[in-house]
Amino acid sequence: MTPPRRVLVAGISGVGKTTLARRLSARWGLPRWELDALHHGPGWTPRPEFASDVRRFAAEERWVTEDQYHRALGDLLWERADTVIWLDLPRRTVMWRVVRRSAARALTRRELWNGNRESARDWLRASHPIRWAWSQAESRREATAARAARFPGVTVVRLRTARQARRWLRQT
């Protein structure tokens, strides 16, 4: 298999997009762009240069990133991608992962992006990944399927279980 050149990793919050993007970057030698790091400024405020930063790297010939921030970016990344790896895992798997990740972040107070840290208090926000993953899982699944239909030239690899994702990664 010839490695893709512009790869999006799709799925709901907490599904493992960043982890898979990191692994694909290492395996295929693709520059990785983490959209959360580009989006979140200090105090969790959106960085004004976010969209222009994304447009700049999206114009490059090789990259891997996560499929998110559709309100700000529209279809920009889908228009440039040649491959989408869609982590469409069961809700129970996603919720276990996102809760475990958020708890670890809150306990360790590890810096995430631009001085931001997650706390248990943040879990009350409607936009927090735990609440987002629970409430938006189905609409996100539908939106990703609709995008895949609108971009038939993009290769979409839909992985429906963690086992299937691990097997696929070993085989690439």
In a domain, 107, yes or no: yes
128 pLDDT band (50/70/90 cuts)?
confident
Q: Look at the chain and count its residues.
A: 172
In a domain, 33, yes or no: yes
Q: How far is CA 151 from CA 7, 67, 78, 82, 154, in A?
A: 14, 14, 7, 10, 6
Q: Say how many C-beta atoms besides its own lie within 10 A of residue 95's C-beta.
A: 17
What pTM value is reported for the model?
0.93
In this predicted model, what pLDDT tens digit does every residue of 23-64 receive, in sequence order? 999 999 999 999 999 999 999 999 999 999 999 999 999 999
In a domain, 1, yes or no: no
Task: Write out the residue range of the structural domain in which residue 87 sits.
Answer: 6-171
In this predicted model, what pLDDT tens digit does every residue of 74-117 receive, in sequence order? 999 999 999 999 999 999 999 999 999 999 999 999 999 999 99
* CATH number of the domain where residue 15 is located: 3.40.50.300
Token digits for 159?
Answer: 């992985």
Closest CA to 63 of 32, 27, 103, 29: 32
Q: How many domains does the chain have?
A: 1
Cα 104 from Cα 100, distance rounded (Å)? 6
